[in-house]
Amino acid sequence: MISTKDFRTGLKIEIDGKPFEIIEFQHFKPGKGGAMVRTKLRQMKTGQVLDKTFRSGEKVAKPDMAVTEMQFIYKDGENFVFMDLETYEQMHVHTDNVGEKGGYIKEGDTVKVLLYNGELIGVDLPANVNLAVAQTDPGIQGDRVSNATKPATMETGLKINVPLFINEGDVIKVDTRSGEYLGRE
């Protein structure tokens, strides 16, 4: 059990059998009565944000979570297929559980995944990844000075804006937090 005095940003807790992550918290004492802790929580399965107030000293459950490294093998229709590197067990995960982060994962990449009761609920990506440009308009000579951009589709299907001088087949560095172009490799 976790007490409200141990709350901190990023802490994972369980409420009504659902995993939550603390986004913000604030201890406060109203005019009368005991101290309270006001929190903003993100439901880890759905991404829903919830405001909840706890009494000071109240205890909440600690979720059954594990972080492990898995290798992304391939995409099978609506599912991503990951393999545990220790047991070689394969896990089929629906696209909704991986979310937009799936556009940054290439076949063969090793990523850290968050498991809740044996079910994958999150993928932890590095700060940036290298992806090849699969489709974009051809670059034009002399377009290196301006800050103009054009849309490009990466090898994973991710769509981002890149500078005009980038061509198909170029390998570029992409920020996984913002989806922005960082440079050429």
The whole-angstrom separation of Cα 71 and Cα 89 is 11
Q: What is the pLDDT of residues 38-62, one digit of tens each?
A: 999 988 877 788 999 999 889 999 9
User: Could you say which of 60, 89, 104 is where a domain stops?
Assistant: 60
> Does residue 139 sit in the same domain as residue 88?
no
Nearest Cα to 44, choosing from 7, 79, 17, 83?
17
Name the domain count of the chain: 3
Q: Which residues of the chain have pLDDT under 70?
A: 139-146
Predicted confidence at residue 135, as pLDDT, reads 92
Q: What is the pLDDT of residues 107-130, one digit of tens each?
A: 888 988 888 888 888 888 888 999
CATH of the domain at 93: 2.40.50.140
> Does residue 159 sit in the same domain as residue 118?
no
> Does residue 116 sit in the same domain as residue 94?
yes
> Does residue 37 sit in the same domain as residue 50?
yes
7's CB contacts (< 8 A; 6+ apart) are 22, 25, 37, 39
CATH of the domain at 24: 2.30.30.30
Do the Cβ atoms of 2 and 61 come closer than 8 Å? Answer: yes
Predicted confidence at residue 145, as pLDDT, reads 64
Do the Cβ atoms of 94 and 106 come closer than 8 Å? Answer: no
Predicted confidence at residue 45, as pLDDT, reads 79
Predicted confidence at residue 143, as pLDDT, reads 58
> Does residue 175 sit in the same domain as residue 155?
yes
Instruction: Show the domain range for 160.
Output: 128-184
pTM across the whole model: 0.70
> Does residue 37 sit in the same domain as residue 79?
no
> Does residue 35 sit in the same domain as residue 55?
yes
Predicted confidence at residue 137, as pLDDT, reads 87
> Does residue 18 sit in the same domain as residue 54?
yes
SS3 34: coil
User: Could you say which of 16, 41, 60 is where a domain stops?
Assistant: 60
